[in-house]
Amino acid sequence: MGSEWNSLGTETWDRTLPDLAALPTLECVQHMNQADHAVASAVEAVLPQIAEAVDIIVGRLAQGGHLFYVGAGTSGRLGVLDAVECPPTFNTDPDMVQALIAGGPAAIFRAQEGAEDNRVQGGVDLDAAGARAPDAVVGISASGNTPYVLGALEWAQRAGLKTISVSCNPLPAASQLSDVTIAVNTGPEVLMGSTRLKAGTAQKMVLNMLSTASMIRLGKTYKNLMVDMRPSNQKLRDRAVRIVMLAAEVDRPKAEQLIQEAGGNTKVAIAMVLLHDTADAARNRLAEAGHVLARVGEVPR
């Protein structure tokens, strides 16, 4: 792009800031914190686009599709972080939400900056991962111009997938390849071009919303409780007990008994109380209700 990078807000120099290196440490971090205050407002300005993207993702996942995050560098790692949290939090199949990063898995732990310049590879990686309609692809790029991400979005459009872009500049190049453009205007960083700062924070906030709101719409929660979580360690097993206590309004011994009878399934344990029935009956009613706990009472006996 050459000098075109100069036009990007994320690549400009914030001349209003003092020389951070010349400040006491407390003042340095105060300036960083003050800059971060603007991130939430910038995300708030694009909430309609985020909601539109969520509705698209929900529609695709409800059809048996998958969600692919594609990014490079910090953006790619944020996609990986969001994807890997979905199975333990919402008990999703690991294939439902996947993340691709320029340079492959090795780039998660060791920067491979040159990989993001390969536009063709974005589509190659999506194809190799098995992306097909009715899947959805979210291209994550602070600049909105990362070749690897643009190539992935371009390939996805040709393949009939829904495309969403998340960037931190107005009018990103990715908008030309997106059904929904989420462009969070985060402006210059306290360190010019260090987009792991405000831009990274904004992208994390957006991805939190995309995955969490999508899972809420798919019935993976009940009264703001993670009823579909996997109790795979001591902390999560205790959380599962507390969730059953809250959702079913029972004491701890009763919650523990219900979870045991439900074979460790938090949602089934709650359904047993809602239906006043056995674990097997609750499991069947949940299946008939599409595994949405709020609907079990709507299914005829």
Give me the active site residues, please.
Answer: 85, 116
The count of other CB atoms within 10 Å of the CB of residue 299 is: 14
Which segments of the chain does DSSP mark as H helices, in order? 25-44, 47-62, 73-90, 119-128, 147-158, 198-217, 234-248, 252-261, 266-275, 279-288
Given phi > 0 = left and psi -120 to 50 = alpha, else beta, which region is 226? Answer: beta
Using CA atoms, how far apart are residues 142 and 167, in angstroms rounded to an integer? 5
Bond prior to 87 in cis (omega within 30° of 0):
no
Helix (H) and strand (E) counts in the chain? 10, 5
Using CA atoms, how far apart are residues 74 and 260, in angstroms rounded to an integer? 42
Phi, psi of 230 (to 5 degrees): -100, 110
144 - beta bridge partners?
none
